[in-house]
Structure 1
Amino acid sequence: MKVDVPTLVEQARLGRPRAVARLISLVEGASPQLREVMAALAPLAGHAYVVGLTGSPGVGKSTSTSALVSAYRKAGKRVAVLAVDPSSPFSGGALLGDRIRMSEHASDPGVYIRSMATRGHLGGLAWSAPQAIRVLDAAGFDVVLVETVGVGQSEVEIASQADTSVVLLAPGMGDGIQAAKAGILEIGDVYVVNKADRDGADATARELNHMLGLGESREPGDWRPPIVKTVAARGEGVDEGVEALEKHRAWMEEHGVLAQRRTARAAREVETIAVTALRERIADLHGDRRLDALAERIVSGGLDPYAAADELVAGLTGLPGDSQGPPSGPGRGYASPA
């Protein structure tokens, strides 16, 4: 059923949760009106502070998110939470447990909580997360907290979606530094050792500080990620966590980093949309004689795969192809639907 997008956007700006929910549902469902929705939201977005929280399962992401909501609400901020849960590989559904842990905020009109299923997308986020964040931003929320699924060392997509990335660790989860190795160690702007009332919390913080010291050399004035110890279930250390977030935001604004990150985020989103559109057009060619003809020329040795790809791209876009090799580097194929 076609919806009245301008009215829906206006209601969302007035803080109507049903309107916000409907807009995000249009995004998740890839509605035919998605382009109209994004066009209406474009002039309204760009004001919210987007904070991503990631870490291994069991470190207390949901509890920490809930504690941050309480802290920001005390400061008079309107807060939205986008909590991503893993989808079942069998039913496609998800246990949206984050809402249970954040139920204390359910009746607060200044808080909006939305759970999203990954629907098989890797990286810790749902593929429609960028557009959902834009909906929440345009709806006038001051802070958008994005909580990823429990992620491993290489699932660091949140760093590409948030203004500030928070990596959570907890003592007693095997090797104290294991969760922060490789990719995750490189994406944190703020590190939080949660459940700091447990044995080993100080050791985890020391090991993390040592690992950060072994990282890339920093120039004077560069941001050095702080390490904050919290007991989120009791609200201990949360104010220090918020202070660290606000310091990072101020540093980014002072050094122009915030604008750079948001521009890079928009560029990746455009790339994703374009690549997805091209992929759909290529998928439509399966069984088409043009694709079969290129494949036959490859098999016969009359054409190599890269030259064939060039011809295919030229035929789809009217532009000359330039297939130099497989894509590489972070951001290639970023956040495209599985």
Structure 2
Amino acid sequence: MIIADLIARARNGSPRAVGRLLSLVEGDQRDEVLANIGSSPGGMGPVVGITGPPGAGKSTTVAALVSAYRKRGSRVAVLAVDPSSPFSGGALLGDRIRMAAHINDSDVLIRSVATRGHLGGLAAAVPAAIRLLGAIGYDVVLLETVGVGQSEIEIAAVADPTVVILNPGAGDAVQAAKAGVLEVADIVAVNKADRDGAEQTVRDLRAETSAPIVSLIAARGEGIDDLMAAIEDHRRTDSRARRLARARAQILSLAQTRLRTQPDLDRLAEAVVDGDQDPYTAADQLISPPTPRTD
């Protein structure tokens, strides 16, 4: 089936067509799909990055957000991003179980994005998927990280806003600050806020970040309206300077990804190791290969 037909079927609500298109943008037909979809009708809706340490309740929070957005009539896509594995492992299976209430809802898409082994990795696969989903009529994209570390930084380049989920006690606030996770946070959510130490965790966080802090009990849906309000406030007040910073980060990340796949990279590396070339000249040639002589 040609790509234009898949796009038409996806816009008419076919989950199979959406899944097929996502597979194409994760693979070697990404550019062809993106060239066919055009822009998002009415502009792109929120792309909410959900990240945080294991066990913080990211998947529970995502499931609660899906329910709340569906009550508003929004079409919702959930992308569970695992940069560490090309397979849908236990963590992603857990996400699917938590999302079981929405599995038969044709206006909810649940997709595991395994970025290792796909062309370009996380930096290339996720922005393309987001653009596709906006263009075929999804109002909200929820982007959950399964891996930890570099994935948070890369997600922050494409999400608007990035929500960091933490738990009370256990030093989560201090550890998050040390790990640099709070640096990417547009909103911080303290989940399981009925536990001892929740208020102290909020106080600790206020000393570490200027981002808005929301208290949740995601398993009961408590505080989800406050989180959605914080998401909407962020989008209203998001400055052009911040949008430009995200765009720069995304462009640089994509450029780095493409440079890694340049066929000359190994040859240039060997030339540097053999002492035939210095790394500065090699880098210049990788970015701007010399023009072949025509004579």
TM-score relative to the length of structure 1: 0.75
CA distance in 1, matches of 2:176, 2:38: 37
How far off its partner does 1:61 sit? Answer: 0.1
Letter in 1 for 2:278: D
How far off its partner does 1:228 sit? Answer: 0.8
How far off its partner does 1:265 sit? Answer: 4.5
**Which aligned pairs between 1:182-197 and structure 2 lie closer than 5 A?**
182-197=179-194
CA distance in 2, matches of 1:126, 1:272: 6
Quick check: which has more Rg, 1 or 2?
Answer: 1
Letter in 1 for 2:11: R
Mapped contact 1:189–1:225 kept (Cα < 8 A): yes
SS in structure 2 at match of 1:281: coil
Q: How many residues are aligned here?
A: 287
| 1:235 to 1:251, Cα distance in 2 relative to 1, 3 A | same
Counterpart pick for 2:206 among 206, 209, 227? 209
Match of 1:43 in 2: 39
Match of 1:16 in 2: 14
How far off its partner does 1:181 sit? Answer: 3.2
| 1:27 to 1:201, Cα distance in 2 relative to 1, 3 A | same
| 1:39 to 1:206, Cα distance in 2 relative to 1, 3 A | same
Counterpart pick for 2:59 among 36, 56, 62? 62
Q: Does residue 280 in structure 1 map to residue 277 in structure 2? A: no
How far off its partner does 1:145 sit? Answer: 0.6
Counterpart pick for 2:278 among 304, 312, 330? 304
| 1:316 to 1:37, Cα distance in 2 relative to 1, 3 A | farther
SS in structure 1 at match of 2:262: helix
Match of 2:140 in 1: 143
Match of 1:231 in 2: 217
| 1:190 to 1:280, Cα distance in 2 relative to 1, 3 A | closer
How far off its partner does 1:36 sit? Answer: 1.2
In structure 1, runs of 5+ residues without a counterpart are: 213-223, 319-338
| 1:294 to 1:317, Cα distance in 2 relative to 1, 3 A | farther
Q: Does residue 167 in structure 1 map to residue 141 in structure 2? A: no
RMSD in angstroms over aligned alpha carbons?
A: 3.0
How far off its partner does 1:271 sit? Answer: 4.3
Mapped contact 1:87–1:94 kept (Cα < 8 A): no
| 1:306 to 1:113, Cα distance in 2 relative to 1, 3 A | same
SS in structure 2 at match of 1:282: coil
In structure 2, runs of 5+ residues without a counterpart are: none
SS in structure 1 at match of 2:64: helix
Q: Which has the higher contact order (CA 8 A, sep 6+)?
A: 2
Counterpart pick for 1:94 among 86, 89, 102? 89
| 1:226 to 1:312, Cα distance in 2 relative to 1, 3 A | closer
CA distance in 1, matches of 2:215, 2:291: 53
Match of 1:25 in 2: 23
How far off its partner does 1:92 sit? Answer: 4.8
Mapped contact 1:85–1:115 kept (Cα < 8 A): yes
Match of 2:228 in 1: 242
How far off its partner does 1:194 sit? Answer: 0.1
> % of aligned pairs identical?
54
Mapped contact 2:69–2:76 kept (Cα < 8 A): yes
CA distance in 1, matches of 2:115, 2:286: 31
SS in structure 1 at match of 2:207: helix
CA distance in 2, matches of 1:305, 1:176: 41
Letter in 1 for 2:61: S
Q: Deviations over 1:182-204 (max 9, x none)?
A: 42111111110000111111111
CA distance in 1, matches of 2:73, 2:58: 22
Mapped contact 2:124–2:254 kept (Cα < 8 A): no
| 1:204 to 1:36, Cα distance in 2 relative to 1, 3 A | same
Q: Which has the higher helix share?
A: 2
How far off its partner does 1:155 sit? Answer: 3.9
Mapped contact 2:88–2:112 kept (Cα < 8 A): no
